[in-house]
Amino acid sequence: MQLLMSDCKRTLTVLWFIGSGVIFLMVLLQSILGHYYGKSNEAWGWLLPNIMPGLSLITGVMIIDAQNRQPKAETVDRFFF
């Protein structure tokens, strides 16, 4: 079964942003509540370098796709998605 590449990209974008948002809010709440005992900088120093490159790449791909004046109807196998 073939899926449209644009639908796959949108699905992955939503999953990444929701997942990253949940993790971001958890670390923010834990930082505010003092869960890290004054070492919240270390938690943020681990979190942001791990999620920001992926989110930046996804955002860049979505922007380039939105600017593409001649969209193609590319498909991908469901297994690979």
Task: Tell me the pLDDT tens digit for each residue of 31-64.
Answer: 999 999 989 999 999 999 999 999 999 999 999 9
List residues bridging with 75 in a β-sheet: 4
Classify residue 29: in a domain, yes or no.
Answer: yes
User: What does the block give as tokens for 2?
Assistant: 């073939």
| Residue 81 and residue 3 in contact, taking contact as beta carbons nearer than 8 Å | yes
The CA-atom distances, in angstroms, between 52 and each of 44, 60, 61 are: 11, 12, 14
Domain assignment of residue 35, yes or no: yes
The sign one gets for the Cα dihedral 70, 62, 53, 11 is negative
Say yes or no to pLDDT of 30 above 90: yes
Residue 31 lies in a domain: yes
Q: Is residue 36 in a domain?
A: yes
Residue 74 lies inside a defined structural domain of this protein: no
pLDDT for residue 23: 98
Domain for residue 75, yes or no?
Answer: no
- Kindly state whether residue 11 falls inside one of the protein's structural domains: yes
Quick one: average pLDDT of 63-71? Answer: 85
Total count of domains within the chain: 1
Containing structural domain, residue 10: 2-66
pTM: 0.84
Task: Answer yes or no: is pLDDT of 72 > 90.
Answer: no
